[in-house]
Structure 1
Amino acid sequence: MKSPLLSLPGAVPAEGVDEGVAAHYGDLFREQRTLADGTGFVDLSHRGVVAVSGADRLSWLHLLLTQHVSDLPAGRATEALILSANGHIEHALYLVDDGETVWMHTEPGTQDALIAYLESMKFFYRVDVTDRTGEIAVVHLPAGSIAEVPEGVVVRETPHGRDLFLPRAGLEAFAADTGGHGPAVGLLAYEALRVEHQRPRLGFETDHRTIPHELGWIGSAVHLQKGCYRGQETVARVHNLGKPPRRLVFLHLDGSEVHLPPHGTELRIADEGPDGRKIGFVTTSVRHYELGPIALALVKRNVPPGARLLADTTAAAQEVVVEP
């Protein structure tokens, strides 16, 4: 779904899965500073929006999600996963309950598959699942923003900022009211700060066999003391008896390189040279206004935390995100 904010001056469209919103508005580093200073807003209107209403919505979702939501207070934000029977991550949900409806946003284009799964699990529960992507746009305000939220808009507030579930018809009017929130900021700036804060993203830090432990989603998106849900056996077994086969790391990349290693670039231990064994891959790489080129990556659990790595031919020093 193409955002009307692509008509703003300087807007350069994003590509790939993020197609439909602006990658930037002409000055990537300035836009990063704007977000870091707690001003501006990010157009995330390409993300899927799903609403679940009905008297049984929380108790029903509690049976399906990795997070404890049966007693979720109105207005409290949380995040959750849906796993396969083998414990692999299928969906990442960012949700809040407004007292009558659970609102969640998901990765672009995944809402149809999510709704199909939820519908298949309704049985006798009093719930209604609806796709609201065509009516509701997600807008992000950074942490520290003092912008006023339009009346009646559902807000999902986290330590990293506020996600607004804004009527799509009001998106242009919201952007025009720059006195309250500052200028529009592109998705590349949002992604740079996401990498800086070491937050994983479905489809970027995940592949078909990723389990929550590998990305540090235990605790933030997975509750270890709740009842059964699909994939729980794997979560419990790895947590109590084993260790995940891979772990998320944060990389400082060689700043002399002109190009960033793209998603999927193979990682090797530098001492073994470019022909050494593959030990992982780059998941997201960005240029940060203060840190320079940085990235997130998945590596094998037994890779020494102090080992210098090669992303193709780009040297990389790692920081631990998930303990080995």
Structure 2
Amino acid sequence: MTSPLLTTPGAVTAESIDSGVAAHYGDPAHEGRAIERSSAWVDRSNRGVVRVGGPDRLGWLNDLTSQLTRGLPPGTATEALVLDTRGHLRHHLSLVDDGEATWIHTEPGDGPGLVAFLDSMRFMLRVEVEDLSASCAVLTVLGPDRAAAVAAVTERVDDVLVRAAEDETDLFLPAERLADAARALTEAGARPAGMWAYEAHRIAGHRVRPGVDTDDRTIPHEVDWVGRAVHLEKGCYPGQETVARVHNLGRPPRRLVLLHLDGTAERLPEVGAAIELGGRAVGRVGSSARHHELGPIALGVVKRAAPTDADLVVEGIAAGQEVVVDPDTGANAQIDLRRRPR
């Protein structure tokens, strides 16, 4: 789909995974400052939207995902992962329950796949799964002053569901009300901001994006999802054995880093490019962006054994690393090895 908000003055369409929404509205640097200092809204109407209804929904999602959703209070924002039996990522869910249904947004294009998986797991339970990606849109509001802007929308636009997370607020709303909601946000003082500024803010906050910063080998401990999207004190779910083993005994084979790229380079690295140390590949780069204060930055995963103080290189661009996931993460069990006396 192509968002109607691309008619906003100054809007320039994004590319690749975010095509169909705005990359920026003419001034990415000022948009980034608004996200951090006042308030801004970001068009994320390309996100997949899935609604799960039925009285068994929260217990069912609890059994399928890494998050504790059983008894989740209405209005509580959380994240969850669907993992395979080896602990590798299948789907990432940003969700909120309204007391009657659980609303989920996921990566662009992932709605049908998530619905197909959930439908395959319904069995005899009282749950209904709907893909509403074509009829429901997501607007994200950020910044320290976002509460006033969100209040203006809920007063003026009907059928808005608020998902208030710690650092951003997502609005689920009918697609036909997208323009009205954006107008209400702007009139309340929130600045339009595109995906360039949003992604720079996300990367600086060390938050990975599925399918960009992850690959088919990613496990939650590697990318700082434990605590945020993985609950360590809940019952069985697919992939739990891997999560528990790494938490208690092992250390993940890779670790997430924030890369500060050489600002003299005129380009950003391609997703999946090798991160090198001394001419040898030690990891892969994910998302990258130009931050209004930090300059060019990127997220990457490197081998756990790579020195934390080493200067790295990505596609010929020098990169200093900021540790996000400690090499010694996990290994929380206290094990005394008892040896038989000789």
TM range (shorter): over 0.9
Alignment check: 8 A CA contact 1:51 1:101 kept: yes
Tell me how far 1:152 sits from its aligned partner: 3.6
In the superposition, the TM-score normalised over structure 1's length comes to 0.96
3-state secondary structure, aligned to 2:276? strand
Q: Distance in 2 between matches of 1:130 and 1:322?
A: 36
> Which residue does 2:302 correspond to in 1?
299
Alignment check: 8 A CA contact 1:143 1:159 kept: no
Tell me how far 1:175 sits from its aligned partner: 2.1
Tell me how far 1:211 sits from its aligned partner: 0.5
Q: Pick from 198, 205, 215: which aligns with 2:206? A: 198
> Runs of 5+ in structure 2 lacking a partner?
328-342
Q: Distance in 2 between matches of 1:128 and 1:38?
A: 39
Tell me how far 1:112 sits from its aligned partner: 0.6
Alignment check: 8 A CA contact 1:10 1:25 kept: yes
> Which residue does 2:190 correspond to in 1?
182
Q: Distance in 1 between matches of 2:325 and 2:113?
A: 29
Identity of matched residues, %: 53
1:303-322 deviation line (CA, Å, top 9, x unaligned):
01001101121111111100
User: Which residues in structure 2 correspond to 1:305-320 (within 5 Å)?
Assistant: 305-320=308-323
Alignment check: 8 A CA contact 2:38 2:190 kept: no
Alignment check: 8 A CA contact 1:64 1:82 kept: yes
Q: Distance in 2 between matches of 1:173 and 1:44?
A: 15
> Which residue does 1:24 correspond to in 2?
24
Q: Distance in 2 between matches of 1:188 and 1:237?
A: 37
Q: Distance in 1 between matches of 2:323 and 2:176?
A: 43
Alignment check: 8 A CA contact 1:143 1:162 kept: no
Tell me how far 1:16 sits from its aligned partner: 1.0
Moved more, 90-99 or 236-245: 236-245
Runs of 4+ in 1 over 3 A off after TM superposition: none
Alignment check: 8 A CA contact 1:41 1:181 kept: no
3-state secondary structure, aligned to 2:66? coil
Q: Distance in 1 between matches of 2:252 and 2:13?
A: 37
> Which residue does 2:128 correspond to in 1?
128
User: Which residues in structure 2 correspond to 1:158-237 (within 5 Å)?
Assistant: 158-177=165-184, 178-237=186-245
3-state secondary structure, aligned to 1:189? helix
1:261-310 deviation line (CA, Å, top 9, x unaligned):
121121112xx2xxx21001111111111111111111000001001101
> Runs of 5+ in structure 1 lacking a partner?
none
One-letter identity of the residue aligned with 2:207: R
Q: Distance in 1 between matches of 2:127 and 2:216?
A: 30
Tell me how far 1:19 sits from its aligned partner: 1.0
Q: Provide the aligned C-alpha RMSD in A.
A: 1.1
One-letter identity of the residue aligned with 2:212: F
- Higher Cα Rg, which structure: 2
Tell me how far 1:37 sits from its aligned partner: 1.8
Tell me how far 1:176 sits from its aligned partner: 2.4
Q: Distance in 2 between matches of 1:68 and 1:42?
A: 29
